[in-house]
Structure 1
């Protein structure tokens, strides 16, 4: 479900589940985690691209897979025992350039993971949404820290609370995306960004990325969000929202 390719020091991790809009399963989280850990440990890897097959980047969590994992989520003594949080930790502490190539719909974690990326290219038809509050949940992946830092409190709250869908042009104006290109130019745009950063002295790049973000502080926010997310997930409001979603 995650197709990995490598060329000239750039590893591409492509979510390859287009029939399900690349909704993430526990298996996909585990594959992404393993790939990020491997890329970080390999000196030959200078940059990583996260991309997707089909019309959409990522529709968030696969709801059926997520529902099947609820007993495990509820019973986990430590969130880091869960595939999704192992992925979020690998994402948080990844110290090499991370580039995303986004097309079509990006929902939930399909958006929040972009806040961890250093460069983002998007196609003109990209549409970003954060439905967490509508589902009775809090956002995750450290987005309650990262998003206000990027776009300010009022814009971040409006996006999260009012159910707005943000298009590629607006996302670029907000500083969430670096480049907006035609769909057929997306992979090339992301690859060109990756090649440029891969050509830089790697230690200088890693050190600079480390200064730009306090990873330990961010991880504490990710964990805190996760604990509240888990608590709210079993609330009557969230359960009703999920039942309504699954009945559609």
Structure 2
């Protein structure tokens, strides 16, 4: 487990996965991905947990991958990376998932929500997917899921131009259910998750399969992205983008 990921289970059958790394704006490391994967797999195996909520901190859902940790881990094959293992579990999870997004949601902080059954956002939510800027390609099956949600042109705008969008836009485009005040966001998400957890499990699982459609197509897109992502990680463009990022990053002081 990771000190930067908290797991809280309620009597109502809701598991809250909290991303808690404020010093790095909730950027995700390999250890954090593994902790979240275990929490999802554990929910699927549990007779008590009927829904999962992803929550960040006030003003920060997640800044995406911790690039320093990610680049270090990328010395091994990306197909075995903690981030990809988590994404695979995310797509396959049978337990209903709810996201409560306040503040920044970058990269996986945005694409994670495409796999959630319900998404609630604050008026401070800011989404962005800068994969191409980093010399990479989309991940988490976002190249498949996003065009089906918002249309090809808007998806191209978000995935190629890395255009940011706010919580109200997410609601208007059907990427989120409702806009909430920040101080009510997590409470509301947990309440909605509890409603899901109280429903008959077999009916929920069967209905999710029908609503979501062909999981095999999602997984095929995910794996195609992973293969392209692996190739792009080694590219001069990505290496130059990472170097530029690290050169701009604030240097620690004594």
TM-score range, shorter chain: over 0.9
Q: Which runs of 4+ in 1 moved over 6 A?
A: none
Corresponding residue number in structure 2 for 1:217: 217
Within 5 Å, give how 1:40-189 maps onto structure 2. 40-73=44-77, 79=79, 81-189=80-188
**2-side partners of 1:165 and 1:217: how far apart?**
27
Query: TM-score scaled to structure 2, two decimals?
Result: 0.93
2:104 touches 2:126 (CA, 8 Å); kept in 1?
A: yes
Q: Secondary structure at the match of 1:48?
A: strand
2:74 touches 2:81 (CA, 8 Å); kept in 1?
A: no
1:101 touches 1:120 (CA, 8 Å); kept in 2?
A: yes
Residue 212 of structure 1 and its aligned partner are, at CA, apart by: 2.0
Q: Secondary structure at the match of 1:175?
A: coil
Corresponding residue number in structure 2 for 1:244: 244
Corresponding residue number in structure 2 for 1:6: 9
Corresponding residue number in structure 1 for 2:252: none
Residue 157 of structure 1 and its aligned partner are, at CA, apart by: 0.2
**2-side partners of 1:224 and 1:162: how far apart?**
21
Q: Secondary structure at the match of 2:147?
A: helix
**1-side partners of 2:177 and 2:122: how far apart?**
11
**2-side partners of 1:231 and 1:162: how far apart?**
21
**1-side partners of 2:89 and 2:189: how far apart?**
21
**1-side partners of 2:17 and 2:154: how far apart?**
31
Stretches of structure 1 lacking an aligned partner (at least 5 in a row): none
Size of the aligned set, in residue pairs, is: 243
2:29 touches 2:69 (CA, 8 Å); kept in 1?
A: yes
**1-side partners of 2:75 and 2:244: how far apart?**
20
Query: TM-score scaled to structure 1, two decimals?
Result: 0.95
**What's the RMSD between the two structures over aligned residues?**
1.0
**2-side partners of 1:10 and 1:3: how far apart?**
13
Residue 197 of structure 1 and its aligned partner are, at CA, apart by: 1.2
Stretches of structure 2 lacking an aligned partner (at least 5 in a row): 249-254
**1-side partners of 2:158 and 2:72: how far apart?**
29
